Structures are given as structure tokens and as C-alpha cells.
Structure 1
Amino acid sequence: MASSMTPLSPASIYVLFVIALVALHGAPLRAGAADTLSVDQPLPVSQEPLVSKSGKFALGFFQPDNSTYWYIGIWYNKISKKTPVWVANRDSPISSPQSSRLTISSDGNMVITNNSRSAIWSTNISNIASGQTVGVILDTRNLVLALASNTSVVLWQSFDHLGDTWLPGGKLGRGKLTDGSTRLVAWKTYNDPAPGPFSIVLDPNGTSQYLLMWNSTQQYWTTGNWTGRSFTAVPEMISSDAYAHSLYRFDYVNGANGSYFTYEITDDSILMRFQVDVTGQIRFTTWVESAGGWTLFWSQPKAQCDVYSLCGPFSVCVDNSQPSCRCLRGFRERRLQAWLEGDHTEGCSRNTALQQCGLQGGTRKGKKDRFYVMPNVKLPSDGQDVVAAQNARDCELACLGNCSCTAYSYSGSCWLWHDGLINLRDMSSIGNGDGTILIRLAASEFTSTGNKKKLIVGVVAAAVVAAITVIALVAVFILRSRRISGHQIMGKSRILTRPYV
């Protein structure tokens, strides 16, 4: 029997295929390219991220580990661990993401809007024709705002607004080429992308060296100047391994429009990151899928304690120790959770407030502040020289007489430290600590004679209780042993006197 069905045309088959997909997914299909953002194609928090054409990079909403906030960022799309390499709204986290979205606004800019449709982040470009721009996430790891009619005409790009990560192809420098964005700035903490205290910048004085900075004011490491093949303080750049050397291509450009350094990875299958870490080190890492994580193969400065103010105020950095940071005696971790996660930059706070402040020879409640002696240290560099102090006692009194003085050191000259004591380093493990510092503490932080007596009484009492407990246990054991022996003898006696049957 012949079929009466009419064969479907290719167009009809396509329509049915689309309808089937819509039914399966339960939502409208996103029209257009999956890598493109436009006025008609916003990216809400509920939407899957935009993905670059080859699938290497994704752009979308994410939450850092243990964070309640949301951000728009770029991450590697083909690895098992979500690793943000750029964040748009570092300073403007989203607390209620339900109606937030990334879109192209009516003025042509790329914007993030919150629940009230207010812009919390924007590319902020002037004189853009309305409705003529799109956002595109590229395989180069770059997010661009470009003309819709010709996406090669780029009006804004994320490569010019770096975060904590410098990716291959990006330019880190000064001048017009980077639009003033010359720094890589570390995250504040591991779950907070807000700008932290550590950054790397091309020397503002015009040399070809990069500087690691704390709070944009204190330099604590430099690459040295560019020689044409490497930086003078980074000889590792000239590898003796021919294969390793062939994987990377470095270039420094010094032109009329600006100066910058860039690098490329010749093997596109290798994923690499150059990052200013929360710990203040710069780290070059590569992704190892078999290990499920990023593997470190180069970092600077090598010694963790060389990072300025790594441990924050009122703490000490200990060489060859894990973790490197410890609170000083009389202090406790200011943010315990961050401390446990390896971020020590907020340092420590006092257990007990100072009891003597600005009183020459006087005390508050009859108690004087005292000093805890720390030998074998590298002294912080921001001490104040007190010329008038002729001896150690004069130096101590100068500190006690100043409300903000927190420590002093005397070795022929008197140095005082005020407010938050930072960048103190314990050198005893490496044998070249030649400084001694005295840390100011409340008198109650030291064990008094009365406390010693109480401690002795407590120890004696505890010993007596322990002795009584042991004696009681021994007595019980002996009694039980005697009872068991008695029962055994009686049992044997009954067996011996039992008549034969």
C-alpha cells in the first residue's frame, strides 16, 4: 500500500527542528551569535554566559567562593575550575542579581544594571551612535565594544582595563596605548575582587623596569631594566631549554605613543596566567588538567617575607615558615576567616588596650604599660629617630610619653614606631637578624606575682585532685581483684568437695 504522506521540504524540517529545540529547553532560543551582546540580546544573570567562537572563554555572571556577591567576569570555559581572569564591576558588586543584566544601553555603551535598572558599571565612551554597537567576547580573551556593522572597529576593550591578571596578548604599560590603565592590581581578598594593596606598574619615571608596589607608594621589588632579551633581575627569561624558550615570545615596545610590554604563547593549547596575587607576589602559572589546578612555575619575590606589609599591622613575618605570618604577643587576628584562608594583609589587633597614654610618669588605674622584647628581627624601615634620647631608658620613656608609640628600639640611637607596626620580620631562622624591638603592651598582658600565686595554687589543687583520683582507682582495682580471687577459690572448693555420682 502506497504512502499518502507528502515529503517535507528542507525549510519545513528546519522549522520543526527549531520548534523541537524550544520544547526541549523550555525557553526561547537566544538569537544571533553566542559571543555577542546587543540591545536586543542582553545577558541576564539567569542566562548561560556568552562564549567566544572557539569556546575557549566565557563572559557572564559569577560568584567568588564563599561570597554572597555577584560580578560580571571573563573565565576559561574549557577547564574544570572556574578561574576569573577579568572582572568588570570590581568596585560595584551585585547583592541582588535577580533582575541584573549586562546589556548595550541606549547611548551605545556596554552597561551592568541592577534590579532598579540603574547602571552600576559602564564602558563610559562618549559620542557613540545609539543602536550601532555590540559587545563581543573574543578568543583572544578580550571583551570589546565595537561597531555592529564592522566589529573590527573597536571603541573599548577590556585589555586596556586590566584587573589582577595579565593574559597573553595584553599590553601592560604607560601612555596612550593603555589609556592610563597601567597597573595590574591584586584582589583585596581571595573572595573579593575589589582592588587590594598590591600592584605592578611600569616605572612612572620612564625606565623600562616594572615595580611591585604596596598602596601605590612603597616599592618592594623590581624586574630591573629591559636588556632586549630579558629584565636584569629576571634572568630566568633566557631559558637554556630550547623547547621551553620556543613556547613564549616576549616583546617590549618603546614608542612615541607609549611604552608597553607584551607576551604571546606560541602553543595555543597551553593556558597560562600572569597574576598579582593577594599575597603580593607576581605568579606565572599554567593549567595542568591531570592535576585539576594551576601549577606555579615562576614567582617573585622569591621570599614571601620580602613582600611589603604582607602580614599587616602588629604581626611578624617569619622566614621559612608556613604560614609566614604570626600575630605579635598581645594581639589576635583582625579577620580570622581571611587569615585562615591565607590573606593576612589586615593584620592583628590588640587583646587589651594600652593603659598608659601620654602620661609622663603617671598611670591609669595605677598600671603602667610594659614592653615585650623581640630579638633577631629586621626592623621596619619607617621608624622615627629620636636624637634627644641618650640611652635605652630615655628611649623607653620617649615611647611611653607618646600616645601613638607602639614600639621602640635602641642600639646607640633611639627609634620609635607609631600606630600600626608593619613590615616586622623575624630573622632568627636564617641567622642574620641583628635588631631588637620592644613591643608596647598593657601591663595585664604580663603574668603578675598574684597571677603566679594563683597559678601555683591551681596547679597544686589539680595535682591533689589527680592524686586522690588515682588512689581511688587503685583501691577499686584491688577490691575487685580480691572479690574475683575469692569467687575463684570458693568455686574450686565446691568442685573438690562435690561427691562423685
Structure 2
Amino acid sequence: MEKSIKDVAFLLLLSFLLSILKSSTAIDIITTTQILRDGSTLVSSGGTFELGFFSPGNSKNRYVGIWYKKVPNSAVLWVFNREIPLISTSGMLKVIEPGHLVLMNDTKNVVCTSNTSRIAQTPIVQLLESGNLVLKEANDDNAENFLWQSFDHLSDTYLPGTNFGRNSATGVENPLSSWTSNEDPAPGDIICYLDPTGYPQAFIKRGAVTIYRMGPWNGFRFSGAPNVSPTFTNKLFMNKSTSYYREDSIDKSVISRATLNQSGVIQRWVWVDQTRGWVIFLTLPTDNCDTYKLCGAYGTCYIGNSPACGCLSRFVPKDTESWIKGDWSNGCIRRTPLNCQKGDVFLKYSNIKLPDSQYSTFNESMTLGECKVECLKDCSCTAYAQLDINRKSGCLFWFRDLIDIRAMSSAGQDIYIRMASSELGSHRGSSNKHLDLPLFDLTTISNATNRFSIDNKLGEGGFGPVYKVKVHKDGMLEEGQDIAVKRLSKTSMQGIDEFKNEVICIAKLQHRNLVRLLGCCIQGEEKMLIYEYMPNKSLDLIIFDQTKSRLLDWHKRLHIVNGIARGLMYLHQDSRLRIIHRDLKASNILLDANMNPKISDFGIARSFGGNEIEDKTNRVVGT
């Protein structure tokens, strides 16, 4: 028994010593006198990456690849012989003079080679701690002198430190390409590449069809894409011969990769030691609004709307019939044609993903004011935006129809679009001239809502959030009176036109069954409407609640229905203008303290002359 225990102890010690020996003899270099055979591996100096032979999935074919050594069952990050597999386990990887990395089969025929044109006196191959496999002159660590490197020949994975783009001087073009299948790493039909045409932006294509566009670089990120992780620095490098994007790790302990899968989706993965698993940090495209030019020229996509596509403000569908049927491919046109000779203007549109910049030019030193002057000189210049929002400098100019625009809930940008000068007043539509409406001070409202605190928020609609405010002293309303403030959201698809429309429609209307507009606030980018406060909120919150709906007996229900009918009768027949609400629903019926109904939300209402009885709409609206 004692001898058996000693034998076991000896075997354990021997195993431990062998493991130490094995780790200490791990190599990261192949010289011309060495051969890496199937079954052996290279390991980077810090033990992060490993190169060796593998078979994907259930395939029996053999490939040379790189993976994370410290991650169990790590996905393969790069493949040398993607298109030419080995059919046996007798493959050999070696370096030959004057400087080539070659993969040979069991008959010593070359299956795959680095095809380098430069030569070295003492060539070696080294697996770096960055995951880059490099062919270089021995003892020369200058990256600019590398004869060949795997970072210039991406598979389906991007690692920090990789130059993603194009170098016309060297002829290196470095796109990501999906695997054909999980068992075949050959390039599939999905690619992601950096297009330097106009101003650089990234595209994902399936064959010849573009399925996603990551907008132009803005100094922080690609427009329309989320911010990168704070564990990376990111930058776009450009000169006459080179355009490439690069991320570098700030925290070297973070294990991360970005992959392009066979569905055309880019995912960034981060390894979490605590859970021993990968976590998806971001996914692109994010939703249907990322579909390339889904809404056509001058159409904008907002994922919170149904349908998602709409025309930019002051634009109308080019083909109304198709648009109504859900075919938005023809896009939108200006409702007022341009007239360059008579003078055009530029109107600001905010919080959007910048349009396709393939047909753009740029200037890196101009101010935003100089951008306007320059674009105004050229009648073919359709829009401009600030090039670098980080440095607040430079201009990006567009010269064709603007396509692939989407509304952004955050991280959107401003663009200035060329419009007929007659649209200037429409765009500003915030003036209360001739409306006889009191103007509220922004500071007063901000303080009263505790800077628009969520605690004072009553709800939110397509226009934006609504807040309850108790007026203390304003010179227009009685002290202590409660009011409701509807604040135009920066991400709302209802813009200046809807704001102006609501003011015009109900500013001078007086009826007990219409919500009363008390004033407005227009300061800087802020646009707000001030209403009388309805303590019982909206009808939908009562009738669709099983508990609250019991409070409404048939007498109260009939009272509410009659009130709504009286309000509509006034709008349709008795008011100065015939007004069609176009969005009448339970959520737009507000109830006062006595459960009296009041029709609200006239943002998309239409008005008619006193003797008009019909008209045609030019866009789908309402619920």
C-alpha cells in the first residue's frame, strides 16, 4: 500500500515537471532550420495566442489558424490556407529563403505561401503577443519593415492593433470576409470593407448588394455606430495613399474580438473571466433602420415609428401611391423645388446618421460658417456637415441626393440641407407672431420641473415627454396653478411643422371639450407647448385598466362620448376653420378633475377653408 502511494506521488510529480518543461519550451518563432508539424504549435511570448493545425466543426480537412490560448475552446481568429485545405495530418509549416512562409502537404508540395516580394538575409516567422503572425528579418522588430503579416490578410475576425482599410501604395486591401460555413473557412459572400470613395465609411455587402453602411468618420466614431468600448482608442488614418481604421487596447488584459458572421452581422465579443464566457458588447446592424437606403432619398427611418420610414421635414413622398403601400424605395422630394438663381438657404436637421458620403468632398480646416459659404457657391452642393465633431472643424459636402438617413436616439449629428429660401420661415416655424400666445421662460420651466426630472414626467408620446409643473410666479397664470408642459424631443419624428401646426390649430379655438393651450416656450433648441393640466390624465389609462375601468359607469361613459362628439362637431362645423384631427384615439382624450373629456394633440391635424369639404393627404399619418 505504501509503495502504491509513492508510485502515485511520483507520477503526479513527473506530470507536473513535464508540464513545466512543456511550457518553458513553448516557442513563438520558426526559423529556416525549423519545421512546425501538425500537432505542434507556436505560442506568443505572453501566452495569449497560439498557432497550430485544426479541423473546423465535423470537417476532416486541416487548416493552419490562430486562436486565444487562454480561452477554452476558443474560436479561430485567423486562417492561413482558407481556400486550400490539407486532407491529412502530415502538413508542415516552414520558412524558406529568401523570405517566404509556406505550407506543405505530405508530398512536400507547397499548398499555400505568403507570396512576399521582399527578401531577407535571415528570415523568421514570429507569433506576436498582439495575435499578429509576422514574417521578418531576424532581430528587426520595426513593423514597417515586416515582409508579410497576418494582420494584412484578415479572415472573419478583427483584433485590436489591426489596420482595417486600404493602402493603394502597397496594394494591400484588408476587408473582413465571413466563412462559407462553420466547417469551411473559405471566404463566403459577406464582406465588410472600408470604402475611401468620397469620405471613408465602412460597408457590409452580400455579393454586390450593400446591406449596411457604417456612416462617415466624425472624429469620434463612424456616424450611426455606437461608441467604441472605453478600453480602446480608435482613429481613422488618411493620406494620399492610405485610408485605414484602427483600434488599440488601453487595457491589455481585456480579451476582445470583432467578427463578421455568415448572416452579415458584426459582433464585438469580450471575454469575461468570472463567468468563463464571451459577452456580446455590440451588434451591427442594430435593427431594421440600419438596412441600407431603406427609406430612399431624403427619407428617414425611426425605429420607434410604425411604419418606420418617413420623409424629412419639408419633404414629401416622390411616389405617394407606392409610399402608402410600404414601398419607400423612390424616397422623397422637396415640397418646394430649389431655385439657385433666386437664392437658396440651408436648414439644420439634428440627431441623424449622416447620409452616404460616397459622392462627397471634404475640407479639414474650414469652420462651419465657411462650410455654408462654400456650399452656397455651388448649386450642385446639396448639404454640408461638420467633418470632425471632436475638434469642431472641417466640412463634409454632399453633391447628390441624400440617402440612408436614420433618426438617432443618441449620438446623432447635425446636417445642413439645401432648401428653397421660402422654406426658411417654415423651418423656423417657432415664431408666435400673430398667434397672441404668452411666451414662457425656459429657466422658469426648467426650475419648476427640476430640470425635467423623471419624477415630474407624466408620460411620453410621438412629440416628446410631458411634464407636470406648478406655477409659482409668472405674471400670466395664477400662482399655484398646475400646467402640463409638452417638450419636443430631439429624437422625435414630429418636428417644427407639427409644433407650428398644433399652435395654429388650437391657439384661438375655445371650446370646453378641447384642451386649452396656454402658451409656448421657444429658446435655443427648446420648443415646448404649455397646456392646462388634466388631473385624470388620458382616457386610455382608465378604459384599458381592469380596476380603473370599473369607475366608469354607463352615465359617465355616455358623458365622455357626448363630450368628444361635441368637440368634434365644433372642429368640423362650428369653428372658424374646418379642422380634421387625424389622430383621434383614447390616449389623445384627456380628462379633467370632473371627468370632462378634452381632445388634445393637434400636431398632424389639417385645416380647411369654411366652404371646403375635401382634400388629399400627401403622407400616411396617425395611428
Q: Deviations over 1:238-292 (max 9, x none)?
A: 7xxxxx53x2211111113301100122111111111111221011111123443
Given that 1:251 and 1:263 are in contact with CA atoms closer than 8 Å, whether structure 2 keeps it comes out as yes
Q: How far is 1:105 from its partner?
A: 2.2
Aligned to 1:392: none
Of 129, 132, 157, the match for 1:165: 157
Of 224, 234, 255, the match for 2:239: 255
Q: Deviations over 1:177-210 (max 9, x none)?
A: 7742231101111221110111111115242210
Q: Given the alignment of the two structures, is residue 200 of structure 1 paired with residue 192 of structure 2, yes or no? A: yes
Matched residue type, 2:92: R
Aligned to 1:497: none
Aligned to 2:250: 266
Given that 1:174 and 1:260 are in contact with CA atoms closer than 8 Å, whether structure 2 keeps it comes out as yes
Aligned to 1:102: 93
Q: Given the alignment of the two structures, is residue 67 of structure 1 paired with residue 53 of structure 2, yes or no? A: no
Aligned to 1:146: 136
Q: How far is 1:221 from its partner?
A: 0.8
Counterparts of 1:446-457 in structure 2, within 5 Å, are none
Q: How far is 1:62 from its partner?
A: 1.1
**Corresponding residue SS for 1:159:** helix
Aligned to 1:445: none
Cα 1:267–1:137 change in 2 (3 A) is: same
Matched residue type, 1:135: V
Counterparts of 1:83-482 in structure 2, within 5 Å, are 83-97=75-89, 99-129=90-120, 132-152=122-142, 153-176=145-168, 179-215=171-207, 217-234=208-225, 236-237=226-227, 245=230, 247-303=231-287
Cα 1:46–1:33 change in 2 (3 A) is: closer
Q: How far is 1:380 from its partner?
A: 12
Aligned to 2:44: 52
Q: Distance in 2 between matches of 1:291 and 1:44?
A: 34
- The two structures have a TM-score, normalised by structure 2, of 0.42
Unmatched runs of 5 consecutive residues or more in structure 2: 1-12, 293-323, 330-623
Matched residue type, 1:226: W
Cα 1:95–1:275 change in 2 (3 A) is: same
Cα 1:218–1:50 change in 2 (3 A) is: same
Q: Distance in 2 between matches of 1:205 and 1:307?
A: 20
Given that 2:97 and 2:123 are in contact with CA atoms closer than 8 Å, whether structure 1 keeps it comes out as no
Q: How far is 1:125 from its partner?
A: 1.1
Aligned to 1:350: none
**Corresponding residue SS for 1:269:** coil
Cα 1:377–1:281 change in 2 (3 A) is: farther
Q: How far is 1:135 from its partner?
A: 0.3
Aligned to 2:342: none
- The two structures have a TM-score, normalised by structure 1, of 0.52
Given that 1:57 and 1:141 are in contact with CA atoms closer than 8 Å, whether structure 2 keeps it comes out as yes
Q: Distance in 1 between matches of 2:108 and 2:288?
A: 44
Matched residue type, 1:282: I
Aligned to 1:39: 32
Cα 1:77–1:200 change in 2 (3 A) is: same
Matched residue type, 2:131: R
Unmatched runs of 5 consecutive residues or more in structure 1: 1-19, 239-243, 309-375, 382-501
Matched residue type, 2:202: Y
Given that 1:73 and 1:85 are in contact with CA atoms closer than 8 Å, whether structure 2 keeps it comes out as yes
Cα 1:378–1:80 change in 2 (3 A) is: farther
**Corresponding residue SS for 1:228:** coil
Q: Distance in 2 between matches of 1:262 and 1:186?
A: 20
**Corresponding residue SS for 1:136:** strand
Q: Distance in 2 between matches of 1:264 and 1:109?
A: 28
Q: How far is 1:231 from its partner?
A: 1.6
Q: How far is 1:102 from its partner?
A: 0.6
Q: How far is 1:45 from its partner?
A: 0.2
Given that 2:48 and 2:70 are in contact with CA atoms closer than 8 Å, whether structure 1 keeps it comes out as yes
Given that 2:190 and 2:205 are in contact with CA atoms closer than 8 Å, whether structure 1 keeps it comes out as yes
Matched residue type, 1:75: W
Matched residue type, 2:33: D
Aligned to 1:11: none
Given that 1:172 and 1:178 are in contact with CA atoms closer than 8 Å, whether structure 2 keeps it comes out as no
Cα 1:280–1:129 change in 2 (3 A) is: same
- Structure 1 residue ranges (4+ consecutive) displaced by more than 4 angstroms after TM superposition: 28-33, 304-308, 376-381
The aligned length equals 283
Q: Distance in 2 between matches of 1:73 and 1:80?
A: 15
**Corresponding residue SS for 2:147:** strand
The structure with the largest alpha-carbon Rg is 1
Q: Distance in 1 between matches of 2:325 and 2:204?
A: 23
Q: Distance in 2 between matches of 1:177 and 1:127?
A: 15
Given that 2:196 and 2:243 are in contact with CA atoms closer than 8 Å, whether structure 1 keeps it comes out as no
Q: Deviations over 1:290-340 (max 9, x none)?
A: 4433211211112379779xxxxxxxxxxxxxxxxxxxxxxxxxxxxxxxx
Cα 1:109–1:262 change in 2 (3 A) is: same
Q: Distance in 2 between matches of 1:31 and 1:146?
A: 24
Cα 1:121–1:103 change in 2 (3 A) is: same
Given that 1:188 and 1:195 are in contact with CA atoms closer than 8 Å, whether structure 2 keeps it comes out as yes
Cα 1:111–1:378 change in 2 (3 A) is: farther
Given that 1:226 and 1:232 are in contact with CA atoms closer than 8 Å, whether structure 2 keeps it comes out as yes
Q: How far is 1:33 from its partner?
A: 6.8
C-alpha RMSD over aligned residues? 3.3
**Corresponding residue SS for 1:150:** coil
